[in-house]
Structure 1
Amino acid sequence: MLRYTLMRLGIFVGCFLVVWGLVYSGIAPRGLGNSNGLWIALLALVISAPISFVALRKERDRASVQVAARVDRMKANIEANAGAEDLADDRARAQSQAS
């Protein structure tokens, strides 16, 4: 998961640098007033999103398998804990009825 995040961040930074160069060379339009940094970041985000979607498909699939496995383990632990609580509760009730 960390690898995917770092790769996605790298693509965004690369796009940010390219857009920054295009804006300051005059090829791409500048933002209004003091919003130039925000304009460059938004353009870089819009450009990097589809690139990441296509280029990182395999890495995203690997990350989703890891997340699904982690969720399955958590569900199994919750069910095991619930079963242990039910068993302890049943034993406590049986002891209180026997007394």
Structure 2
Amino acid sequence: MLRYTLMRLGIFAGCLVVVWGAVYSGIFPRGFGESNGLWMLLLSLVLSAPISWVVLRKERDRASVRIVNKVDRMKANLEANRSQEDLADDSARAQGQAG
């Protein structure tokens, strides 16, 4: 997951550099007044989102598989703990009824 996040930040940083160059060269318009920095950040975010969606598809799928496997392991461990508690409870009740 860290790898995906770093790759996503890298794409955003690349878009930010491209947008910064385009704004200061006059290709893209500047923001109103003091909003130029915010304008460049928002435009970079809008441009990087679809690029990340397409370029990082395989990495996102790998991260998803890892997360699903981890959740499945946690569910199995939880179920094993529950069954151990049930066995301990049943044996304690059986001893209580026998005594």
Matches within 5 A, 1:2-81: 2-81=2-81
1:68-96 per-residue CA deviation (whole Å, 9 max, x = no partner) reads 11111111111111111111111121122
**Unaligned segments of structure 1, at least 5 residues:** none
Residue 32 of structure 1 aligns to a residue whose secondary structure is coil
**Unaligned segments of structure 2, at least 5 residues:** none
Letter in structure 2 aligned against 1:57: R
- The CA distance in 1 between the partners of 2:18 and 2:82, in whole Å, is 54
TM-score by length of 1: 0.91
Letter in structure 2 aligned against 1:83: S
Number of aligned pairs?
Answer: 99
1:12-34 per-residue CA deviation (whole Å, 9 max, x = no partner) reads 00001111111122221222232
Percentage of pairs with the same residue = 75
Structure 1 runs (4+) greater than 3 angstroms displaced: none
Letter in structure 2 aligned against 1:32: F
TM-score by length of 2: 0.91
